[in-house]
């Protein structure tokens, strides 16, 4: 890949951290749209010697790196058993010990369902100094691009983030579906497409209304973003029928209805909001701004 120097964005004036040789910085690249990368992330890109990046990192972000830096793809798709994880950590250690400034660039936030915690632990155990830069996680930022707030005062005072896969590739057995169904009005699911039938079934069995709104946001924040609006009982069949593929975030709960009003991307493209008060609260939000 060539780097177009003319397009390397400038950092604002400031006291940016210096990337010393032999360090590993774990950085979140955000869910896709390069504009969601943080300034700390940009600072890291402009100093790193080697960038080890994941499948979900948008490659346009790599154009912002230091021109003589190297890139290494450590791609793996979510949900698959990942024998390579250990190799990735060992590679980071090897590069750091060779005196490189190593940037480990991960999609979304490195500490949210991204194995960033495990990589960081391995590095620290190996005696390598690290720095962590959070990123915008798909479960929050991706929903925002679909016009769905993860919380809304009229809907939920709690939200659960969960993964539809565990290390074995199965639906995690440790998830207490009954507790989540009862206690979490909004459930935001990562890596949930493969086992969506089982997951929706678990939630309905645990007492959730089969007609509860569900939004499935795939390729969130990217030009290819697609949003499927469905319900808990219809989601599995709709996902198949519409050919929805990972990466996708599944949002269960009435916040998904807010998209009818807040689908800002469609509105910027000239569409009218579909509803003025999808939650039917009867509240005039303009008067009640407290």
Residues comprising the chain, all counted: 290
CB of 60 to ligand SAH, least distance (A): 13
Residue number with CB closer to ligand SAH (41 or 247): 247
CA-based torsion, 258, 136, 62, 110: positive or negative: negative
Contact window for ligand SAH (CB under 6 A) among 82-90, 93-101, 137-145, 228-236 = 137-145
Q: Does position 147 bind ligand SAH by CB under 6 A?
A: no
CB of 225 to ligand SAH, least distance (A): 7
Q: What is the DSSP letter of 108?
A: B
30: closest CA among 146, 105, 104, 108? Answer: 108
Q: Which of 63, 76, 166, 238 is catalytic?
A: 76
- Whether the bond between 247 and the residue before it is cis, its omega within 30 degrees of 0, is yes
Question: Applying CB under 6 A, which of residues 41, 134, 142, 147 lies at the interface with ligand SAH?
Answer: 142
Question: Applying CB under 6 A, which of residues 159, 186, 217, 232 lies at the interface with ligand SAH?
Answer: 217
3-state secondary structure 79-126: CCCCCHHHHHHHHHHHHHHCCCCEEEEECECCCCCCCHHHHHHHHHHC
C-beta neighbour count of 238 within 10 angstroms:
17
Q: Which of 33, 54, 58, 263 is catalytic?
A: 54
3-state secondary structure of 44: helix
Q: Are 177 and 202 in contact (CB under 8 A)?
A: yes
Query: Site mask, ligand SAH, residues 29-48, x = CB under 6 A?
Result: --xx----------------
Find tokens 């830096």 and name the residue: 69
Q: What is the C-alpha to C-alpha distance for residues 289 and 17, in angstroms, rounded to an integer?
A: 40
C-beta neighbour count of 159 within 10 angstroms:
19
Q: Does position 134 bind ligand SAH by CB under 6 A?
A: no
**Does 191 participate in catalysis according to the annotation?**
yes
Q: Does position 138 bind ligand SAH by CB under 6 A?
A: yes
Query: Site mask, ligand SAH, residues 225-264, x = CB under 6 A?
Result: ---------------------xxxx---------------
Q: Which residues are catalytic?
A: 54, 76, 191
By the criterion CB under 6 A, which residues form the site for ligand SAH? 31-32, 56, 78, 106-109, 112-114, 137-138, 142, 190-191, 217-222, 246-249
């Amino acid at each position: 890949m060539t780097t177009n120097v003319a397009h390397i964005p400038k950092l604002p004036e400031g006291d940016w951290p210096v990337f010393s040789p032999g360090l590993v910085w774990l950085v979140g690249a955000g869910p896709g749209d390069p504009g969601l990368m943080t300034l700390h992330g940009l600072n890291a890109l402009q100093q790193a010697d080697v960038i080890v990046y994941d499948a979900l990192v948008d490659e346009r972000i790599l154009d912002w790196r230091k021109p003589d830096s190297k890139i290494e793809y450590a791609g793996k798709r979510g949900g698959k058993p990942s024998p390579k994880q250990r190799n990735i950590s060992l590679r980071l250690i090897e590069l750091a010990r060779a005196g490189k400034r190593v940037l480990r660039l991960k999609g979304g936030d490195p500490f949210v369902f991204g194995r960033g915690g495990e990589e960081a632990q391995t590095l620290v155990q190996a005696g390598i100094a690290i720095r962590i830069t959070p990123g915008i996680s798909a479960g929050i930022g991706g929903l925002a691009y679909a016009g769905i707030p993860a919380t809304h005062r009229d809907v939920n005072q709690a939200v659960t983030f969960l993964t539809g896969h565990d290390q074995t590739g199965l639906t995690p057995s440790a998830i207490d579906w009954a507790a989540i169904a009862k206690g979490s009005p909004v459930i935001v699911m990562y890596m949930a497409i493969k086992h969506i039938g089982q997951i929706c079934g678990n939630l309905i069995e645990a007492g959730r209304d089969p007609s509860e709104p569900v939004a499935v946001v795939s390729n969130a924040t990217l030009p290819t973003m697609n949003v499927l609006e469905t319900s808990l009982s219809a989601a599995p069949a709709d996902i198949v029928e519409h050919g929805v593929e990972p990466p996708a975030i599944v949002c269960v709960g009435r916040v998904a209805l807010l998209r009818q009003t807040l689908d800002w991307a469609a509105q910027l493209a000239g569409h009218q909001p579909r509803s003025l008060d999808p939650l039917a609260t009867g509240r005039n939000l303009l008067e009640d701004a407290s």
